[in-house]
Amino acid sequence: MKPSLDIKHKVYYGGDRQAYIRKSQVLASVNIPRIDTYAVDGGSGLRLYLDNHGRFVWTQISGGGKGRLLALMMDGELMAFLRIDAHNDSGIIDISGPFNTDKADTIARHAERNYELFN
């Protein structure tokens, strides 16, 4: 195995398509006290509201990572790829998806409970 693959994780999306992503996480439930859903063509989008630490981390990442792709993983499942378009220090991240509406609602509904559990 190549040394570079030791820090990466193989995930599947779109059936049998595969991608390698870094195992280190940038943000997690511990940084997201609230998630809202919003309508987009083909389903729902997710609006993540970050706590102070999450906002700090996201400000740093978005400031130096324009054009970079990040993987959105939930419960070990690849949900989407997010491209960093611009510097963002608002503490709010919009992920347009589109996500299945029921799945998006479930994610949003559990955000506050997960945040409290991990904090």
CATH at residue 84:
3.30.1360.200
Domain hosting 99: range is 29-118
Q: Angle at the Cα of 26 (from 92 to 67), degrees rounded to 5?
A: 70
Q: Is residue 75 in some structural domain? A: yes
- pLDDT in single tens digits along all 119 residues of the chain: 444 545 666 776 666 777 777 767 778 889 999 999 999 999 999 999 999 999 999 998 888 877 888 888 776 777 778 888 888 899 999 998 888 999 899 889 888 888 998 88
Which tokens belong to 48?
Answer: 């993540």
Tally the domains of the chain: 1
Q: Is residue 38 in some structural domain? A: yes
pLDDT of residue 81: 81
State the Cα–Cα distance between residues 97 and 105, nearest whole angstrom: 13
Q: Angle at the Cα of 67 (from 63 to 68), degrees rounded to 5?
A: 85
pLDDT of residue 41: 94
